[in-house]
Structure formats: C-alpha cells, structure tokens
Amino acid sequence: MTPRERHIKTLLFDKPDKVPFSPGGGRESTLKKWHEQGLPEGVDPYTAMFEELGIESEPARPQPGLYVSFKMIPQFEEKVLEHRNGAYLVQDWMGAIVEISDEYDYTYLRLPKDFVTRKWHKCPVENRDDWERMKERYDPKTPGRHPVDLDEICRQLQDRDKTVALSFNGPFWQLREWCGFEGLCELMLDDPDFVQEMIDFWTEFVSQVMAPVLERLAIDHMYMSEDMAYKAHSMISPAMTRQFLKPAYVRWVEEIKASGCPIIDMDSDGYIGELIPIWIESGINCCDPIEVAAHNDIIEFRKQFGRQMAYTGGVDKRAIAKGGDVIEAELERLAPIIKDGGYIPGCDHGMPPDISWPNFIEYSRRLAQLTGWL
C-alpha cells in the first residue's frame, strides 16, 4: 500500500495495512536541545529516529511539488522600525506592526521556526480606506499564484504514491490577520456588514485561486487554517460562527468535493468541541491538532460525533515530556481510537523543548507499535 493510499484509507475509516506513522516534530529550540541530548548534528530527526527504531523508510516515486499561493502579492516590506528594551518593533510581511523579543528577528514571523510570542501595535486594516488598498494585493490572477507549468505538474501527479495537499486560511483567520483579533471581534458587533463584505471577498478569492488546480487534479487533502478557540471555549460563539463563517465553508467544501478530493481538514488550536458540529454541518470531515491541554477529549469526541469526523494529532505533549508510565498511559488511552480508524495519532502541536530526545524516541517507539510499524 502506498503512503497516499494508507493516508486516505485511514482518515476515511477504511482498512489500511497500517496507520500512517506521524509522531510530530520539534521547532528550533527543541532541536537545539535534542542535539545536546543525542541527536547527531546535521541529521534529520526522523532519519535518526527511524534508524534508532529499525524502521525502513518506504520507497516512493519522485513527484513534483504543487505550490499555490493564497498570500498577498505583493507582500509588505519586512523591516525593523525600532529596537528598545530587549524588543524589536517590526513591520511584518502582512503589514502589521508587531513587537517581538530581540532574541529573534522578523524572519521568525514568516514561518513557525520556534515558539515566538508577539504583541500587536497596529493592524493593516483599520478602516475602509485600508481595506480598499488591501484588496489590491489579492488578485487571484496575479502571476506567481500558480506554477507556470501547472498543466504538466497536474498531469504528472495523476499517478502518485504520496498525498497532494493544499492549504489556505479560513475567513476568521484571514480577517484576524487584516483587522487584528480585538478589531475583528468589535467589527462583528459594530459593523457586521463590513465584516461580511470582507468575508465575501475572501470566499470568492479562495475559490478563484483553487479553481485552476481543482479543474485539473483531484488533490488528496485540503487544509483550512482557522485558529479560533481559547483554552476552554471558541473565540466567537457558535451562532456567530454559523452566521459569518459557515457559508464560506459550505461553498468551499462543495467545490473541493466536486473535484474528487476526499479529505477536508480544519486546523484550529484551542477547545473545538462546540465548533465540530458546525464543521460537520459544513461537510468538513477531519480536524487537528486536538490539543489535550485545551480540554479536547478525542475519546468523548468519538462518542459524540462517531465517524462523521476524523482526527490527526491528539497526543498530549505534556505526557510525551514526562515519558515513562505517563506517555504509556496516554497512548493506551488513545489505542481504541487508533484501532477504530479515522485517526492519525501524533503530538497535539509543535513539540516544545521540554520533550527530551530520549523521551521522543521512547514515545515514537510505542506509537510505531500501536500503528503497526513495529
């Protein structure tokens, strides 16, 4: 069975030969610790872990990558505006003015290279004039959104061993990047028509950017990024989620499923229990990362929602850090869900540096046993 077949069968509650093995990985500070604890310098952690466990990497035919950009074009100039009191004041690529520790630099705002907190001073859309200027950066036909050889790439990907996935921001995530969290929430109450205008724009933009790919290729997995929950509740009410966000989800899901894509995945940190029903209503059939510290209980979710929702992630990072009997108990807790299907287990977010290299190996070994790799 190819990695692609295994991935799809697992998340569709079919019968794979084994469950995909995806323990998760560390960010920059974690990798630094791991190199101090036994991971050889210059060696990929998964390569070292596979060698330690005696697992052979699966052969797969080379296949071209498919990159599609849903980001603004052009991006804002990244620059340091001020350096004071141990912090940089930075204009990031999205046009926000943010403050970060001078332990880092603005390149850490582009990609999640490490666990970096920031403070927002100004967001790029604070009024309708800002919005009119922002819209100019989101032309779906701007060169650079799709590969120039899209036809050939899609032709080559018709017969493939590995999954093909695309990802884009959901409306809450995207409007939060434009308006800021507090600004967006205030607008939802004070000027809902403006919020709806921005959501309608984003919905149409995403559809138009997806279309050239969906017309040529049935991808395997579509990801929506929509971080919209605190530790115990969603950031906006289920009623507001249905009002503002669900119509976009429904439209996108219809278009994605019509192309033949089997898995539509919602990514949100925080407690998602009150959001999952809305995602199911919208046709979304997978979600992640199922953070345990945010009171997500994947066992309870399976009881409530059955096989209407599949999951990835869900292994408590705090248990991995403790190792020993604690991680053993955590994986035994999840074993029935692994067996039931519709679940690819892994760390419930990026691995922090309190997870040691020996504990990562210990956890990965047991996970490999439960998923059929050892």
Q: Buried b vs exposed e over 256-278: b needs ≥16 C-beta within 10 Å?
A: bbebebbbbbbbbbbbbbebbbb
Residue of 102, 119, 103 lying closest to 32 (CA atoms): 103
Task: Taking residues 206-215, report their average pLDDT.
Answer: 98
Global pTM reads: 0.96
Confidence at residue 352, expressed as pLDDT on a 0 to 100 scale? 95
DSSP state of 102: T
Side chain identity at residue 344, one-letter code: I
Chain mean position to CA 215: 24
Q: For the segment 110-124, what is each residue's pLDDT rounded down to a tens digit?
A: 887 899 999 999 999
Mean pLDDT lowest among 59-63, 100-104, 156-160, 307-311? 59-63
Q: Quick one: average pLDDT of 179-201?
A: 97
pLDDT tens digits, 345-365: 999 999 999 999 999 999 999
How far, in Å, are 1, 59, 129, 269 from residue 288 at the CA level?
24, 27, 36, 8
Indicate if the pLDDT at residue 89 is higher than 90.
Answer: yes
In terms of phi and psi (left: phi > 0; alpha: psi -120 to 50; beta: otherwise), the region of 243 is: alpha
Q: Which residue is listed with tokens 């520790």?
A: 101
**Residue 168: pLDDT above 90?**
yes
How much is the mean pLDDT over the chain?
Answer: 96
Q: Look at residues 244, 210, 209 and name the one whose alpha carbon lies nearest to residue 226.
A: 244
pLDDT value for 106: 85
Mean pLDDT of 195-206: 98
* Unique residue bearing structure tokens 């930075």: 90
Q: What's residue 180's pLDDT? A: 97
pLDDT band at 58 (very low <50, low <70, confident <90, very high): confident
pLDDT digits (tens, 9 = 90+) for 22-56: 999 999 999 999 999 999 999 999 999 999 999 99
Domains, the chain, ordered by start: 3-72+124-370 (3.20.20.210), 77-123 (no CATH)
190: confidence class by pLDDT, cuts 50, 70, 90 = very high
Confidence of residue 290 (pLDDT cuts 50, 70, 90): very high
Rounded CA-CA distance 371/19 in Å is: 5
Element (H, E) at 173: helix 171-179
Q: In this structure, which amino acid lies at residue 55?
A: I
Identify residue 196 by its one-letter amino acid code. Answer: Q
